[in-house]
Amino acid sequence: MSFLDLFSEDEQILLRRRADRAALSSHDEGEVIASIDTLVVVLGDESYGLPLRALTAAYQVTTPVVPVPCTPPFVAGITNIRGRVVPVIDLAVLLGVSGTATSDLTAIIVVANETMTVAFRVSAIGDAILVKVGELVPVSGLFDLAKTEYLQGALPDGTIVLDMGAILNDPALIVDEAVG
């Protein structure tokens, strides 16, 4: 009995795809080339890459986003995702992307780390791509200095890859639930 006999045909196909993707990540001499599976999202006229390892779901906006008073401008509100109330961050406002109207934001990307779950409101969801870390170039001159900590780099086509760890660990996004 083979190890693969434990899996259905569809599961075997998925496992082969994962193995092929892993094989593409290694160089002929055995040197590993770091890569990031990334989901491309659109904010206005700009493309951004969100590392897939932090994403838990993606939705076209069908559920209302309820505004919350006395929150920073980047907080669009809250929404119900699978019975759980999740804060919604307007990614364009958080990154300082100009020219993006609220009516242009039609999708929600749910991201999480060990301590929190948030949803980012974006204009559109694009393709999933494999980004080789070596292809990234610095983008420090494109944004205010305060925002560069959110950026891993840019691809040759102008897509900017975001650092989810830096965003999710930013103290400005952490909600203190204590009433004081």
Torsion over CA: 43, 49, 53, 54 (sign): negative
Question: Do 14 and 70 belong together in one domain?
Answer: no
Question: Do 49 and 119 belong together in one domain?
Answer: yes
| Domain span holding position 158 | 36-173
pLDDT tens sequence across 19-68: 666 655 444 445 555 888 999 999 888 899 999 998 999 988 767 889 99
Question: Do 51 and 136 belong together in one domain?
Answer: yes
Question: Do 29 and 41 belong together in one domain?
Answer: no
Our measurement of the distance from residue 78's CA atom to the centroid of its chain's CA atoms, rounded to an integer in Å, reads 18
Whether 178 is in a domain gets the answer no
* DSSP-derived secondary structure letter, 175: -
Q: Give the predicted TM-score (pTM) of the model.
A: 0.74
Question: Do 5 and 89 belong together in one domain?
Answer: no
pLDDT tens sequence across 78-93: 999 888 999 999 998 8
Question: Do 18 and 86 belong together in one domain?
Answer: no
Coil, strand, or helix at residue 147? helix
Percentage of residues in the chain with pLDDT exceeding 90? 27
Question: Do 22 and 45 belong together in one domain?
Answer: no
Percentage of residues in the chain with pLDDT exceeding 70? 73
Question: Do 27 and 90 belong together in one domain?
Answer: no
User: Is 26 in contact with 33 (CB distance < 8 Å)?
Assistant: yes
* Phi, psi dihedrals of residue 132, rounded to the nearest 5°: -85, 125
pLDDT of residue 104: 60
Q: How many domains does the chain have?
A: 2
Which whole number is the average pLDDT over 119-128? Answer: 92
Q: Is the pLDDT assigned to residue 109 strictly greater than 90? A: yes
User: Is 108 in contact with 59 (CB distance < 8 Å)?
Assistant: yes
Question: Do 53 and 70 belong together in one domain?
Answer: yes
Q: How far apart are CA 164 and CA 150, in angstroms?
A: 7
